[in-house]
Homo-oligomer: A and B are copies of this chain.
Amino acid sequence: MGLVMADDVLGLGLQKIQREIDDAFDAILPVPDDARAPLVEAMRYATIGGGKRVRPMLLVTVAEMYGASRQAAVRAGAAIESIHVYSLIHDDLPCMDDDDMRHGKPTLHKVHDEAIAVLAGDCLHALAFDILTGTEVSSDPFIRAELVHALASASGHNGMAGGQVMDMVAEKEQFDLRGVTRLQQLKTGALLGAAVEMGAILAKVPEDGRTHLRNYARDIGLAFQIADDLLDEEGDEEKAGKALRKDAQAGKATFVSLMGAEGARAQAHALSQQAIGHLSGHGEEADLLRALARFVVERDR
């Protein structure tokens, strides 16, 4: 019963943040009455509607747990989602993963052209930092600068994009479990970690009070990616809204190829439990984070 209630709370929480993030992008991206209209239309297509919004959910939940304003946190959530979406747009390009479907609709370069997809990704990248330096996020410049720092360092060559390059290399060289873990810590983990970190920054949680949050983020990041590998192997393309079975086709080492499906599933659940364990110092204000830790391994998309 507790589990079911927690999942209801999570479901409602996700619905709420999805609506808020959609609204934020709608407000931030009015279509200009000039030749840039197709660019901004493309940015809106990619950002509004679709996506689980896990990163904003993490950011907003941590921020609220420690008493920060939800409105400011949603704004910062739109910034991290803007980075996530730009990375998906570029990842889907013909010269990268060459994907046709994303979130159940055609990828951006399929509806607009490739050049617009490159530029719309670039603009969403810049938009993230533009949002974070607005006073709507915080009246405290120290907080704004810290948010930018957390997001920029997690998304560049020492974070997400660095992990993507490792992922490309993994198609040629066989990585072992340590290599795949390191790759995923950068590719997915860094940005999930930044989401939690940014929530803590917004709520002015002191550095030495963030260790358990970072451990939580690290564990759900890894659990998230193992679940992704399982979905890629066993999932339903329609529910996932994108092409699956691509890693196996590319002969790429994944958690599933290295640990077997059952081993990977057990590991994902262990990590999810371990993540929940890091929250033992919190009461029910952390229930959403606990539910999220379960969700990342139980989701079907």
Which interface residue of A96, A157, A161, A179 has the most chain B CB atoms within 10 A? A157
Partner of A157, one of B36, B128, B183: B36
Interface contact A114-B95, CB-CB below 8 Å: yes
CB distance from A167 to the nearest CB of B (A): 9
Using Cβ atoms and an 8 Å threshold, which residues of chain B touch A116? 165, 168
With beta carbons under 8 angstroms apart, the residue of B141, B173, B179, B183 that contacts A145 is B141
Given contacts A36-B157, A40-B157, A125-B126, contact A133 B119 (CB under 8 A): no
User: Does A34 make an interface contact (CB < 8 A)?
Assistant: yes
Interface residues of A in 90-147 (CB under 8 A from B): 90, 93-96, 113-116, 118-119, 121-123, 125-130, 132-134, 141-142, 144-146
A149 at the binding interface (Cβ < 8 Å): yes
With contacts A118-B96, A144-B145 taken as known, whether A38 is within 8 angstroms of B165 at the C-beta atoms is yes
**Contact of A46 with B by CB under 8 A:** no
Give chain B residues whose Cβ lies under 8 Å from the Cβ of A272: none
A259 at the interface (CB under 8 A from B): no
User: B residues within 8 A CB of A146?
Assistant: 133, 141
Complex Cα distance A49/B148, Å? Answer: 28
Which of B35, B87, B148 interacts with A133 by CB under 8 Å? B148
Residue A271 is within 8 A (CB to CB) of chain B in the complex: no
Question: Distance in Å from the Cβ of A149 to the closest Cβ of chain B?
Answer: 4
A112 to chain B, nearest CB (A): 10
Proximity string of chain A (172-194) to chain B, C-beta cutoff 8 Å, 1 when within and 0 when not: 01000001001100000000000
Contact (A152, B123) CB under 8 Å given A39-B162, A118-B96, A141-B141: no
Asked if A126 contacts B38 (CB within 8 A), the reply is: no
B-side contacts of A121, CB under 8 Å: 122
Complex Cα gap A87–B126 (Å): 12
Closest 7 pairs (CB-CB, A-B): A126-B156, A95-B114, A133-B149, A129-B152, A141-B142, A130-B152, A35-B169
New A-B pairs, 12, CB < 8 Å, besides A35-B170, A127-B157? A34-B182, A35-B166, A39-B157, A39-B162, A39-B165, A90-B119, A126-B152, A126-B161, A127-B152, A129-B149, A130-B153, A142-B142
Provide 13 A-B residue pairs closer than 8 Å at the C-beta atoms, listed in order of the A residue: A43-B157, A86-B122, A95-B113, A119-B161, A119-B165, A125-B126, A126-B155, A126-B159, A127-B152, A133-B146, A133-B148, A133-B152, A141-B141
Chain A positions near chain B (C-beta within 8 angstroms): 34-36, 38-40, 43, 86-87, 90, 93-96, 113-116, 118-119, 121-123, 125-130, 132-134, 141-142, 144-146, 148-149, 151-153, 155-157, 159, 161-162, 164-166, 168-170, 173, 179, 182-183
